[in-house]
Structure 1
Amino acid sequence: MSRTRIKDERIISEIQKFSTHGFMIVFVGFMVSLLVKVFILQWDIKYWFDTFVIVMAGCLYITVRSVKNGIYLLPSKEGEGDVRRYKKINLIGGAVSTLIWAALMFLSDFREAGELDIAKSIMSTLVGSVIFFVGITWIQWFIIKRSNKNADKSLDG
């Protein structure tokens, strides 16, 4: 008598949840390791570049596959309040990432410069922050729009 394994949707869902949590633990570990190597230990790039490549490869893979399969979606047009809330969350996320980027850039200038021209550093960080904010917000919307288009294609085909 042979036994076949039962593939219940709940079991598959739990396995996927554990895999996602495991990936997030590894990802956060790599990010913390990378931040410590770059900003605290101030290691040369040759000592942390491999960690950076691993983190970027993982992020790129997940993003490309999700966009290709149409997973990043805007809420439906019927819930106009949902779309507005989603846009607000996107802008807040862009603002928070911009503040983090600006703080890291300012601290990097402060740490590396012998005599720091504070006004020049603040102005260059502000200009860089505006460019970063516009860029990151545009990239997020491009990814979502492309994902919506791919989701529509998969429904049609």
Structure 2
Amino acid sequence: MKHRGIKDERIITEFQKLNSHGFTICFAGLMISLAVKVFVLNWDMKLWLDTFLILMAACLYVVIRGIRAGLYQLPPKEGEVKRFKKMNLIGGLLSSVVWGALMFSYDLLDSNQADLSKSIMSTVAGTVVFFCGITALQWLMMKRSNKNADKTLDSEN
């Protein structure tokens, strides 16, 4: 008689946790590697593009599968939804500021003093566009995920 493996929920959950931690370690390693290659070593794009594409492909896969499974859901209570929206806006603002600072410092390294005002204006405009885009994208993901979660519940009944 063949042993098919244990299907205990605790073991399955532990495997999932290990896989999640492994992905997190790989993700952090790739992010650090990418940041060092781009911002510290100032490597040419062709030397770090593969790392960036691998990182983006993994992130895209996780997000799309999460949306299709309906994993990203809004909280059930109105007060929690308001708090979630506030945290979403704060997170979008912080990520936009970090993005703007990185882009400005990158421009500052490549430009002379005469281009400083142009660099500031383009960075501010880019930061606003980034904030609007990332916030809208997050809400679109949440709405789509909620729809998919509802479809999953309807198909189970």
TM-score, normalising length from structure 1?
Answer: 0.93
Q: Which amino acid aligns with 1:35?
A: A
Which AA in structure 2 matches 1:110?
L
| 2:79 pairs with 1:81 | yes
Q: What are the within-5 Å matches in structure 2 for residues 1-20 of structure 1?
A: 5-20=5-20
Q: For residue 117 of structure 2, what is the aligned residue in structure 1?
A: 119
Q: Are residues 128 and 20 of structure 1, via their aligned partners in 2, closer, same or farther at CA, if it must alter by over 3 Å?
A: same
Structure 1: stretches of 5+ with no match in the other structure: none
**Separation of aligned partners in 2, 1:135 and 1:149:** 21
Counterpart CA distance in 2 for 1:50 and 1:5 is: 37
State how far apart, in whole Å, the 2-side matches of 1:104 and 1:139 are.
21
Aligned counterpart for 2:105 among listed residues 104, 107, 123: 107
User: C-alpha distance in 1, partners of 2:3/2:49?
Assistant: 48
How many matched pairs?
155
Within 2, Cα distance between the matches of 1:56 and 1:2?
40
- Contact residue 105 and residue 125 of structure 1 kept, 8 A: yes
Quote the Cα distance in structure 1 between the aligned partners of 2:3 and 2:136.
53
- Check conservation: 1:68, 1:150, Cα contact below 8 A: yes
CA contact (8 A) 1:110 1:116 kept: no
Q: Does 1:52 align with 2:36?
A: no
Superposition deviation, residue 7 in structure 1: 2.0
Q: Where does structure 2 lack aligned partners over 5 or more consecutive residues? A: none
What is the rounded CA distance, in whole Å, between the counterparts of 1:3 and 1:124 in structure 2? 63
Aligned to 2:145: 147
Q: Distance in 2 between matches of 1:42 and 1:6?
A: 50
In structure 2, what is the Cα distance between the partners aligned to 1:127 and 1:23?
34
Alignment of 1:122-141 (within 5 A): 122-141=120-139
Q: TM-score normalized by structure 2? A: 0.93
Mapped pair 1:42 → 2:42: yes
Q: Identity, % of aligned pairs?
A: 57
Change (3 A) 1:3 1:54: closer
RMSD: 1.4
Distance 1:92 1:14 in 2: 33
Secondary structure of residue in 1 paired with 2:113: coil
